[in-house]
Amino acid sequence: MNKYESVIIINPNLEDGANKALIAKFTDMINKDGKVESVDELGKKRLAYEIKKNKEGYYVVFNFEAKPDFISELERVYRITDEVIKFIVVKKEE
């Protein structure tokens, strides 16, 4: 299993409960095929440029271990989740 870091930017107009539910959804998904080491909620921050008519975004950072083939499935789910306006998954160096 490899170590990864994933940063997602969630639509800032969601209620706090919706943010927590979305974070729990992704945490559970990662835990099924890997292991979440930490979840850091950085909160609302101003974006460098407008994304989907949003000037701000709610940042969340996941640090986790997973198999390489799981990453494509995770990115697919990020893409089809309307609340996620931007994401990136990066493999950490050992």
Q: Quick one: pLDDT at residue 14? A: 86
Encode pLDDT of 37-53 as tens digits.
999 999 899 999 998 88
The Cα 36–Cα 23 span in angstroms is 12
Q: Are 4 and 91 in contact (CB under 8 A)?
A: yes
Q: Is this prediction's pTM over 0.75? A: yes
Q: Quick one: pLDDT at residue 87? A: 95
Q: Quick one: pLDDT at residue 17? A: 86
Q: Is 57 buried (19+), middle (13-18) or exposed (0-12) by CB count in 10 A?
A: buried
The Cα 30–Cα 24 span in angstroms is 10
Q: Quick one: pLDDT at residue 59? A: 94
Given a cut of 50, the residues of the chain with pLDDT beneath it are none
Token digits for 47?
Answer: 């974006």
Domain that holds residue 12: 2-91
Q: Please state the domain count of the chain.
A: 1
CATH number of residue 20's parent domain? 3.30.70.60
Q: Quick one: pLDDT at residue 60? A: 94
Q: Quick one: pLDDT at residue 85? A: 93
Helices (H), 1-94: 16-33, 68-80
